[in-house]
Amino acid sequence: MIVHHIDREGVIVATRRLEHDHALIAGLALMLHAEHGALVRRGGVWEARPRPADPWRERVLAILRDFAERTPGARVEEKESCLAWHYRAADAEYGERQARELEVHLRELLSNLPVEVVQGAKLVEVRPQGVHKGLVVAEVAAIAAAGGLLIAIGDDLTDEDLFAALPPGGVAVHVGEGESAAPLRVIDSDAVREILARIVG
């Protein structure tokens, strides 16, 4: 999530699509981006950024499905630009072991292709190279009011790209535990709501 402090507008950069009637954002004036910035919602319609063909997709999808079948509780999520293997509902120890094996296998398979294998919060994701949340920062900075303060807030490993792309003076806030390059940290989503309430209020 990115907030321009001066004009009090916000941008949601999510891993999947959200709609304006979503409970978390209903009634708010927001720009929406999904799949790490690969999709943007304009005038109520989702548009995809131009990207190269993905001949790797079917082969990777078959591998993810195979790992899901062999890992009770795991599931595969198909997005327009990315594929993800989730294991939050799997046995913790076995899920982590399977995730490490899957990541090594995918990195070897895709080493010569323009794709990235990314570890997230209880997931392994394959996405086109160069597609990440940080892509949105330059767009937001270009439309933000002069002197505006950009504040980026996130709780996932993929949010590190967002933090790294902030211009000088931008504020990065990591939510929860875990390593992060963000200099500021809050404990949970309730603290995030409090921050946003103060900005909007």
Amino acid at 44: G
Structural domains in the chain, CATH included, are 2-13+27-32+133-200 (3.40.50.1000), 57-128 (3.30.70.1020)
Q: Quote the DSSP letter at residue 181.
A: S
CA angle (143, 146, 147) in 5-degree steps:
125
Q: End-to-end alpha-carbon separation of the chain, Å? A: 18
pLDDT of residue 55: 85
Q: How many CA atoms lie within 13 A of 68 on its CB side?
A: 18
Amino acid at site 185 = R
pLDDT (0 to 100) of residue 127:
87
pLDDT at 121: 82
Nearest to 87 by CA among 178, 110, 34, 100: 100
Q: What is the pLDDT of residue 84?
A: 93
pLDDT at 10: 59
List, for the chain, all residue ranges whose pLDDT scores fall below the cut of 50: 3-8, 18-29
Residue 17: per-residue pLDDT: 52
pTM for the whole structure: 0.62
